[in-house]
Amino acid sequence: MSAVTHQKSEAGAELQRLRDSIDNLDAVLVHTLAERFKCTQKVGEYKARYSLPPADPIREEAQIKRLRSLAETAKLDPDFAEKFLAFIVKEVIRHHEATGTVGGLKTEALGE
């Protein structure tokens, strides 16, 4: 085996190791999101049962600040984290609308 072939083989193995790590992290993200959606669904059901208002702007503002701070600590772009959260919020609202639980606005998605 030539030195170049050996280097390519090592590089390929390292690339595969890195990709395996990414795959594992993707699995963690998917399972974590699934658990989060289970919790937000319960919040939506609770609010609907007790006729609570669907939104809590004070809670929402506090959660956004908290998540931006967590992103900064983790060295993740806070703007990206907020956009990602907004995407999740939109999906939670869609789930609540689909199940007829129209109590599930942004507050539930933020974890209230």
- pLDDT tens profile 3-61: 667 677 888 999 999 999 999 999 999 999 999 999 988 988 887 788 777 667 787 88
Residue 53: its pLDDT value, please?
74
The residue type at 82:
E
Candidate from 14-18, 60-64, 104-108 with smallest mean pLDDT: 104-108
pLDDT at 107 > cutoff 60: no
Spatial separation of the C-alpha atoms in residues 56 and 77, rounded to whole Å: 25
Which residues does 70 contact at the CB level (< 8 Å), separation at least 6?
A: 81
Q: Whole-structure pTM over 0.85, yes or no? A: no
